[in-house]
Structure 1
């Protein structure tokens, strides 16, 4: 049977976050299954062969744990019970994915609090980027065994959108068990019409989404639309498609989507730079020399310790600080890889000396170019 949505081209992408829900991994509530996971793994492998990167956000831990503990009542949904089941099932989720790949599969457990805290945000991003650099497949899930507020409707859909922004993904892909967004729930409305392109998420679009879907997962179409909205705000488009269909996954491997595309609100870089430009700071300032000014403005470089002259204020790793020239003019703003005390200790020194001076290293840059915005008009060309 042909998918309800017609094939259409994908935006160009090199790095994607792919979210796979419990409905695809634990079909019929009987524990983890390769029934649909195999097709998804073949798509991931094809992406890897094409030189692309995938970060997988995978559900299924609670369902896997429930299948392994037969004494657990099927109706037990209390927080403590679900946390225990998640702890039991996490290893099964990673093992499921590892069986499909020769490359290493890495488990990364996060909570929303990890991503709200700027220092932990930077640590999580650095870890994920390093895993991709090593050729591993990161498998991300919420740290359900310690989360309190996160085990609720739509957790992994929204987590996937946050992870997409975290790793600067070109696209967010959400694999579900229906063909995409419809004007109404196609399971209960025979006259539902497929929606193939969503330029902007409006109240009318939100109204099209129904409530929770399967009894296995925690999210429904509403949370997928919500996640698409978060990704769009970060400049990342979202693709919603049926991960149970081998033909849809084969089309996806050749950059054709049978599903719904949610467009981004401007470019990814624009969204990030806008946030850096306008997010409140704490008064911290990093004074840099003329060479650093030229490198930041003319070459789009990162800020290195060798260009730092002085540091004003008290701020921590992950805070936003103003970067000023010798006259005190703010020329840029950025997320700091080191706190004020640390930057004072390495100011004027070479990047390779950081670890010797501090006893540890978060990297060679004080502010990475991806975390920095040059203020227009602050520096002459």
Structure 2
């Protein structure tokens, strides 16, 4: 469905696959998991499934569930630590509890669930990404509800900020989803943080998320979750690049996904971009954190942005960081303005030696070359939402 045709009244038109992300603040309380919320979520997802839609659920809540379990069984308070090791340990305890509750909730509707634990680094290799896609395809073919979560026990950076919002956006490309629903503790997006600004106004529709200053808008996080509204909007920005609309809507209380999808009020609808990137470019840009930067001159920047060219060594002015061939790196202007990200054909050391050089000079400097381009245009995403 094109951007111009998407409205609140036709969100389910042509929709075959849905990714629903639910935050910790929705399915937990101060005492642990909120079984009423989990059951209500299972009720509504089961209805979508019965209507013939493939649904993937990306769920937070394992850390809170683990803390609850440890307290129940040991009466120890040490689990309240907020350091990485404590949170990962709590998650390893809570993951089983979370899946048990989901399994029972969906079983009431005759649905089978599957636990899928992923990390962004686990999807870094294209072969692993495609293997994960094949597994998800088979589960959906069988009518199973995949429940995806971060593999917190072994992850590092991923658990620190916006983990499952980022993971939810990655799942869009993994299953070629048609819509992204992000259930949160807030009733959609506001023009400023409503927690400290009683005059904050809701934004029911975002037509061009690429033009918004997300960092300026978002200055708060929920107490239980790790991402806050910033990570939800960043995930929506990524979804928009893939051509997928996003609904950011409250999952608290008597929330009703079906009513919102059928034209009901509430929440925020984020429209997709007019220019859609390929699944491969989407994967390439967001499978990992960039580990360095290439700075380019004005001529190269203009060619990249207006002509869709590859980046040649002659346009490079500076190289930052230490990275190997095939690494994901930022592409920036000389004054530090981010143009996008790309997969480099050369290491940082090689690029420092050939920066500013013509293509016919490369072999004499570093020997046989792997490519004329420092970053090929097929391995580059400009205006990436990092």
- TM-score normalised by length of structure 1: 0.66
Alignment of 1:1-381 (within 5 A): 8-11=8-11, 12=13, 13-28=15-30, 30-70=31-71, 71-73=76-78, 75-101=80-106, 102-202=110-210, 204-207=212-215, 209-252=217-260, 254=262, 256=264, 258-266=266-274, 270-272=276-278, 275=281
**Unaligned runs of at least 5 residues, structure 2:** 1-6, 286-377, 379-386
Structure 1 contact 57–141 (Cα < 8 Å) conserved: yes
Q: CA deviation at 1:254?
A: 3.5
Looking at structure 2, the residues matched to 212 and 155 of structure 1 have their Cα atoms a distance apart, in angstroms, of 16
Structure 1 contact 175–243 (Cα < 8 Å) conserved: yes
Q: Deviations over 1:132-174 (max 9, x none)?
A: 0011000000100111111111110011001111110001110
Alpha-carbon RMSD: 2.4
Q: Specify the SS of the correspondent of 2:236.
A: helix
Q: CA deviation at 1:51?
A: 0.8
Q: CA deviation at 1:20?
A: 0.4
Q: Deviations over 1:309-355 (max 9, x none)?
A: xxxxxxxxxxxxxxxxxxxxxxxxxxxxxxxxxxxxxxxxxxxxxxx
Q: Specify the SS of the correspondent of 1:97.
A: helix
Structure 1 contact 212–218 (Cα < 8 Å) conserved: no
Match of 1:319 in 2: none
Number of residue pairs aligned between Structure 1 and Structure 2: 270
- TM-score normalised by length of structure 2: 0.65
Structure 1 contact 57–160 (Cα < 8 Å) conserved: yes
Structure 2 contact 46–111 (Cα < 8 Å) conserved: no
Structure 2 contact 79–86 (Cα < 8 Å) conserved: no
Structure 2 contact 22–183 (Cα < 8 Å) conserved: yes
**Unaligned runs of at least 5 residues, structure 1:** 1-6, 280-372, 374-381
Q: Specify the SS of the correspondent of 1:218.
A: coil
Q: CA deviation at 1:250?
A: 4.4
Looking at structure 1, the residues matched to 159 and 55 of structure 2 have their Cα atoms a distance apart, in angstroms, of 24
Looking at structure 1, the residues matched to 66 and 117 of structure 2 have their Cα atoms a distance apart, in angstroms, of 16
